[in-house]
């Protein structure tokens, strides 16, 4: 019977199987020790084979074969370990776009809702003039106050030119319940907002109404304006934002403001 170690040995030596008998049986190899012919009966282990070769520079054929087999096993183990270390790790699942998109609109809607100014007729004080714009400007929603910035400064200067102080004026907008800038609402939208603007006019007890913007000169709004004002005189001037862009319109606005001043003096 032959040990299986001899199969590795003859493979390392480059020998074919032709030297084995056809009926040979193979036994498992015992790698723990090997007796060298020139060792005087001493045991040569796999661990001592390689140091022996390094020290003498020569190796018996049997030891050289054992060392070659041992080196082959070490290389195989190293490759298996390297392959295991390079195994890709699983990637955490990312949220799908549809799940993220379902949250964002709600947050945007909540932020928009908090930016809208609050109007309450109970807080309206008596005034000589009610000044009306068609809707809040985007800048006003950001600032939380009507006629903010340079537009507000110009409006106050226009009113001061005809003797009106800030306490003499109630400033408001026709359209209030809107999340977007609406420079020209439909006649139906203007009519729907009529009850609230009428309540403001009653609460302010204003003697004159001053409309800001050419939108109030359009025929589609004439009937609704007539329902609001009734016997209360009203005037229309270009919006201060437009006057800042087109200063040549200031003369037109001044003519209307002088008419408003005359009405206030005669009442």
User: Do 146 and 245 have their domain in common?
Assistant: yes
Residue 217, SS3 per DSSP: helix
Q: Report which secondary-structure segment, H or E, holds 133.
A: strand 129-133
pLDDT tens for each residue of 43-91:
444 444 445 444 454 445 555 555 555 565 554 555 555 555 554 444 3
Is residue 129 situated within a structural domain?
A: yes
Q: Are residues 145 and 55 in the same domain?
A: no
Say what the pLDDT of residue 8 is. 57
Query: Residue 173 in contact with residue 133, Cβ under 8 Å?
Result: yes
Per-position b or e across 234-267, b if 16+ CB within 10 A of its CB: bbbbbbbbbbeeeeeebeebeebbeebbeebeee
Q: What is the pLDDT of residue 201?
A: 97
Cβ–Cβ under 8 Å, residues 35 and 12:
no
With respect to residue 106, please indicate whether it lies within any of the assigned structural domains: no
Per-residue pLDDT at 180: 77
Same domain, 9 and 141: no
Residue 34 lies in a domain: yes
Nearest alpha carbon to residue 212 among 244, 174, 239: 239
Q: Is residue 200 a contact partner of residue 170, using CB atoms and an 8 Å limit?
A: yes
Can you give the pLDDT at residue 34?
Answer: 47
Low-confidence ranges of the chain (pLDDT < 50): 18, 31-37, 41-50, 52-55, 57-59, 75, 87-118
Q: Is the pTM of this model over 0.75?
A: no
Out of 23, 44, 75, pick the residue that ends a domain.
75
Residue 43 maps to a domain: yes
The answer to whether residue 88 sits within a structural domain is no
Q: State the residue range of the domain holding 161.
A: 117-266
Q: Tell me, what's the pLDDT at 141?
A: 86
80 part of a folded domain:
no
Total domains present in the chain: 2
Distances (CA, A) of 256 to 86, 231, 249: 83, 18, 11
């Amino acid at each position: 019977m032959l040990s299986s170690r001899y199969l590795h040995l003859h493979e390392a030596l480059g020998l074919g199987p032709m030297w084995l008998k056809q009926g040979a049986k193979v036994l498992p190899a015992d790698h723990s020790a090997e007796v060298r012919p020139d060792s005087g009966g001493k045991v040569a282990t796999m661990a001592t084979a390689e140091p022996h070769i390094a020290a003498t520079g020569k190796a018996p054929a049997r030891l050289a074969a054992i060392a070659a087999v041992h080196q082959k096993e070490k290389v195989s183990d190293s490759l298996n370990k390297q392959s295991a270390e390079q195994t890709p790790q699983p990637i955490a699942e990312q949220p799908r776009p549809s799940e993220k998109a379902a949250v964002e609109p709600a947050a945007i809607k909540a932020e928009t809702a908090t930016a809208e100014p609050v109007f309450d007729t109970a807080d309206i004080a008596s005034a000589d003039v009610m000044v009306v714009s068609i809707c809040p400007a985007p800048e006003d929603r950001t600032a939380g106050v009507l006629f903010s910035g340079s537009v507000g400064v110009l409006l106050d200067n226009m009113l001061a030119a005809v003797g009106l102080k800030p306490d003499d004026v109630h400033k408001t907008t026709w359209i209030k319940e809107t999340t977007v800038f609406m420079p020209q609402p439909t006649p139906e939208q203007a009519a729907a907002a009529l009850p609230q603007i009428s309540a403001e006019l009653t609460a302010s007890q204003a003697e004159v109404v001053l409309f800001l913007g050419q939108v109030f000169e359009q025929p589609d709004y004439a009937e609704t304006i007539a329902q609001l004002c009734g016997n209360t005189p009203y005037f229309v001037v270009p919006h201060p934002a437009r006057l800042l862009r087109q200063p040549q319109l200031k003369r037109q606005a001044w003519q209307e403001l002088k008419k408003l001043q005359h009405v206030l003096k005669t009442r």
